Copies of this chain bind each other. A is one copy, B any other.
Amino acid sequence: MPAVPVADGAGPSPAVSDDGAGRAPDRCSNRAPLRFADRLVGALLEAGADEEQAAWTAWTVVYFVLGLVQEEQAAPDRPDDRLTRAVDPAAHPAPHRVAAHSRPGAFEDRPAFGLDAILSRLPE
């Protein structure tokens, strides 16, 4: 996977400092998502993506990350074997075969796995 530099052309983030005019920091306004989009899309363009690839890759990344974060936030605090019990080895042979990797968890490794895949189509 090519390195994806994080663009820093937008200057210091106002998300961590008040703008001095008494307005709320950027994280409390609609400008924060646009500044984040500028960093993400800018990094993809710097990595060599064309405009369509940068825009569509950004959405692919966002949807993947949102889904995984929702799963992590909803993960039970205690072991939950409902999925394991629901999988019938005869009726669902594939889920049964991969069951060890289907439980909630690996929340450090799975984002890297998905992002590596999504970003692997960027120019070398």
Contact = CB atoms under 8 A, between A and B. Distances in A.
B60 A95 contact: no
A91 B56 contact: no
Interface residues of A, number: 53
Interface in A53-74: 54-60, 62-64, 66-68, 71
Given A34-B87, A40-B94, A41-B98, 6 more contacts: A35-B92, A45-B94, A45-B98, A55-B98, A63-B66, A63-B68
A29 to B, nearest CB: 11
A114 interface: yes
A17 interface: no
Tell me the number of copies of this protein: 2
A5 to B, nearest CB: 13
Given A54-B94, A64-B64, A117 B114 contact: no
Q: Which 4 A-B pairs have the closest CB atoms?
A: A63-B67, A42-B94, A55-B101, A41-B94
A114 B120 CA distance: 11
Contacts of A41: 94-95, 97-98
Interface string A107-124: 000100110111111000
